[in-house]
Structure 1
């Protein structure tokens, strides 16, 4: 009979420790926050917004300019609650293109780059299939012009997600770029 008491006590202590660890883990995961860049497109005609995110702090917007028909690129960094436009690169440009900024410290072959360093709370970007808009980050290329209807306004903003947010939303590079869900 004395042999069963230590086993029962061991089971009770182990069970209580397991439950406490599970509760701690659940609370920690519920409150753990992660900085992300959210990509949101307002739903049309009562549809839900399309939303995805990525965790890389550096990203690039790339599109074909509607007049020059050449690639333009903008490099960004997520900084807490702002985005920093660091550099722009143009294959060709014309009237109205900013050219008073310092040259970018790293020049890309076939492009002219400028150092910008402008902080923005978010980006509002209209994309279409004609301009072939894309977002590049962390070795991923997200063809946003194939994910949303033409002339959709895309809002790109820094956010902080908890575990529930991350489970409810998709990573952008895991979505089909053809617009299907």
Structure 2
């Protein structure tokens, strides 16, 4: 008889502990947030928009400059209040090229690099196939110009996602490179 009562108490305790753990997990999933970089594309061709994200704090934008026809690269770091442009690299000088800043601590062969350290709350970037815009992060290279119609505006910003938000959106590197959805 005593054994049955202990067994019943053990099952009751296990049930209560399981329910408490489940409630704590649900609360954690609802209220915990992870800072990510959100990439949102508003297409000019249609009213559809594409949203993806990545969790790495560092990323790089690359494109071919429309006048010099040379690669231009910018390195960014996600911060609490926005994005920090840390360095910029380019293959050729032209109008608007920064030249009064300090040289970047790491130089890339074939490029001139400068330390910029300018903060932005978000970035608005118009991409086209002519400029071959891409986003590079954590060894991933996203050819954004192949994913969206020409002259689409790409907004890049830090955001905080809950676990549920993350299930509703794609990692940027999981998007098909041919632009199909």
Task: Please state which band the TM-score falls in when normalised by the shorter chain.
Answer: over 0.9
> Per the alignment, do residues 136 and 45 of structure 1 end up closer, same or farther by CA in structure 2, a change over 3 Å counting?
closer
SS of equivalent residue, structure 1 residue 3: helix
Q: Deviations over 1:79-133 (max 9, x none)?
A: 0121000010001121232211111111111000011000000000000111110
Asked if the contact 2:44/2:152 (under 8 Å) is kept, the reply is no
Following TM superposition, by how much is the alpha carbon of 1:6 offset from its aligned partner in structure 2, in angstroms?
1.7
CA distance in 2, matches of 1:24, 1:48: 37
> Per the alignment, do residues 46 and 178 of structure 1 end up closer, same or farther by CA in structure 2, a change over 3 Å counting?
closer
The match for 1:122 is: 122
CA distance in 1, matches of 2:82, 2:90: 24
Number of aligned residues: 181
5+ long unaligned stretches in structure 1: none
The match for 2:77 is: 77
Asked if the contact 2:30/2:164 (under 8 Å) is kept, the reply is yes
Asked if the contact 1:63/1:132 (under 8 Å) is kept, the reply is yes
TM-score by length of 2: 0.95
Runs (4+) off by over 6 Å: none
5+ long unaligned stretches in structure 2: none
Residues 38-117 of structure 1 aligned to structure 2 (within 5 Å): 38-44=38-44, 47-117=47-117
Pick which of 128-137 and 97-106 moved more.
97-106
